[in-house]
Amino acid sequence: MTTPPKNTSGRGQRELRVRVKTAKGRKLSSTLWLERQLNDPYVQRAKREGFRGRAAYKILELDERYGFLKPGARVVDLGCAPGGWCQVAVERVNALGQNPKKPVGTVLGVDLQEVEPIAGAEIHQLDFLSNDADALVKGWLGGEADVVMSDMAAAASGHKGTDHLRIIALVEAALAFAFDVLAEDGTFVAKVLAGGAENEMNAMLKRNFKKVANVKPPASRSDSSEKFVVAMGFRGRAAETGQEPDAE
């Protein structure tokens, strides 16, 4: 089971911290970001273990808790750059067929920008908001998806309320996409920012999925307002069709 990286320096509870001086022409905010990256144990661990970013541990920890990346599953990763979530999914769903005793899954990553190839994943440069995106994804998958996941975030504006509304809009767009491509009992996973506007989205999720959880995995920085929604057991757009969902 994935656990937060521990201090292995042999110095008890004392940790060696890298200090970065502000270089000429570099903003203080850039220096602080660089210092945080250099001292982040998840960043260091990602480099050692070959992941493209620390975000890989967020999906690892979520999957260890909820178990939605099963061997044989068909997974769509929206906004997949730089590819850390795809890397995790490839191993978990047995996309490379490395375990001959388990079914082979499919990992499909889509992003507006070009992404370096990932063994076991099919990556497409695609705007998932385009009119033909759903049909294209289903064609590439050879059917519906078992998991739709998104770690997308809008560019920060510096205004907390604005950033919150922007990411909620992205999540809602990802959810609309998921409604069209998810198979029955499928799972939707997405990053959100706490702020209040997500209440309506959570209500929609609860109408259409059997189980909905909001969780902050250990790999998510404590000073960040991000959290993740994990909606499992897709049962269709009950509210939109006028049907009441079955009782849990």
Does the CA dihedral 55-56-58-59 come out positive or negative?
A: positive
- Give the integer Cα–Cα distance in Å for 176 and 140: 19
Q: State the catalytic residue, choosing from 70, 101, 102, 191.
A: 191
> CATH no. for residue 113?
3.40.50.150
Which residue range(s) make up the domain with 183?
A: 53-241
Q: What count of residues does the chain have?
A: 248
Q: Please indicate if the annotation marks 111 as binding a ligand.
A: yes
Q: How far is CA 106 from the centre of its chain?
A: 16
* Per-residue model confidence (pLDDT) at position 201: 85
> Is 139 inside any structural domain?
yes
Q: Please indicate if the annotation marks 246 as binding a ligand.
A: no
Q: Is 21 a catalytic residue?
A: no
> Is 41 inside any structural domain?
no
* Per-residue model confidence (pLDDT) at position 114: 95
* Per-residue model confidence (pLDDT) at position 196: 60
> Is 87 inside any structural domain?
yes
* Per-residue model confidence (pLDDT) at position 46: 82
Q: Please indicate if the annotation marks 163 as binding a ligand.
A: no
> Is 28 inside any structural domain?
no
As for how many domains the chain has, the answer is 1
pTM of the model: 0.78
* Per-residue model confidence (pLDDT) at position 193: 76
List of the chain residues with pLDDT < 50: 1-16, 18, 20-21, 28-35, 239, 241-248
* Per-residue model confidence (pLDDT) at position 152: 85
> Is 12 inside any structural domain?
no
> Is 33 inside any structural domain?
no
> Is 13 inside any structural domain?
no
* Per-residue model confidence (pLDDT) at position 73: 98
- Give the integer Cα–Cα distance in Å for 183 and 228: 21
- Give the integer Cα–Cα distance in Å for 147 and 111: 16
* Per-residue model confidence (pLDDT) at position 211: 97
> Is 24 inside any structural domain?
no
Residues 6 or more apart whose CB falls under 8 angstroms from that of 45 comprise 5, 54, 57
Report the candidate in 77, 84, 87 with the shortest Cα–Cα distance to residue 189: 77
* Per-residue model confidence (pLDDT) at position 247: 40
